[in-house]
Amino acid sequence: MLKKNVYMRTILFAIVFFVFLFLPAGSLHFSEAWIYFAIFFGSTMYINRYFLKRDPELIERRVNAKEVEKEQKIFQSISGAIFFIGLLVLPGLDYRFSWSDVPFYLVFVADFFVLLGFIIVFLVFKENSFTSAIIEVSENQQVISTGPYALVRHPMYTGAISIILFTPLALGSIWALIPSIFIIIFIVLRLLNEEKILLKELPGYEDYCKKIRYHLIPLIW
């Protein structure tokens, strides 16, 4: 039942994603979009398949998660709207009206960083079975300080930011970098709010923060 639910959700999301991306472009010859689409959903399907087999509890927690924090509901709603409109519709319109001129080699570099973002997300899932789609502290949850968590406190967000920041260039759009920056700001705000909750509710997290100084990027912040 879980497997069917996850695959159905992924397929429906892929259809919506496809429409938001290609309909504004007005063409199926949007080659940058095809490459990006293949990377995005190829990675998503692989991650789902891997963890449905190896750690179905993780997938089930993420599927059934419902945000309860008011601030986080607002962050999720706004960032979700900006993602679909700013990072899918806008690049499609950019392609249709030729607003940007992104060299194809730069598109491939951006695709690499999008894929890298998914690899980071995969490693986070593998290291931390309690990784949730919402901000919560589960029963028996412990502080994880190994793998990517030995470098930064929020590697999941590091992966997400890599995907979001390089999506515009992967789709050949300079203008879409503007909404991507806004989404990253929302992620940082969410991160700071999450840390307050973890410091309050997760035993050992304060000591972990003293040990691991960086939030998202090693040696920077």
Predicted local confidence at residue 135, as pLDDT:
54
Please write the tens of the pLDDT for every residue from 171-213: 999 999 999 998 898 888 888 888 888 888 778 888 888 888 8
- Per-residue pLDDT of 135-157, as tens digits, reads 555 556 677 878 889 889 889 99
How many other C-beta atoms are found inside a 10 Å radius of the C-beta of residue 106?
A: 13
Instruction: Please state the domain count of the chain.
Output: 1
- The string of DSSP letters for 74-141 reads HHHHHHHHHHHIIIIIHHHHHHHHT-----HHHHHHHHHHHHHHHHHHHHHHHH-TT--SSS---TT-
Nearest-angstrom CA–CA distance, 30 and 172: 10
| Residue 50 resides in a domain | yes
Confidence of residue 67 (pLDDT cuts 50, 70, 90): low
Structural domain includes residue 156: yes
Range of the structural domain that residue 22 is part of: 2-211
CATH code, domain with 31: 1.20.120.1630
Residue 61 maps to a domain:
yes
**Rounded alpha-carbon distances, angstroms, from residue 141 to 22, 90, 137:** 42, 40, 7
In the prediction, which pLDDT does 140 show?
A: 60
pLDDT of residue 134: 54
Tell me the DSSP string of 11-70. Answer: HHHHHHHHHHHHHHHT-S--HHHHHHHHHHHHHHHHHHHHHHHH-HHHHHHHHH-----H
- Chain centroid to Cα 215, Å, comes to 16
Residue 221 lies in a domain: no
Neighbours of 112 (CB within 10 A): 14
Task: Give the mean pLDDT of 216-221.
Answer: 84
Q: Let me know if residue 149 belongs to a domain.
A: yes
Q: Does residue 140 fall inside a structural domain?
A: yes
Q: Is residue 98 part of a domain?
A: yes
Predicted TM-score (pTM) above 0.95: no
- 166 found inside a domain: yes
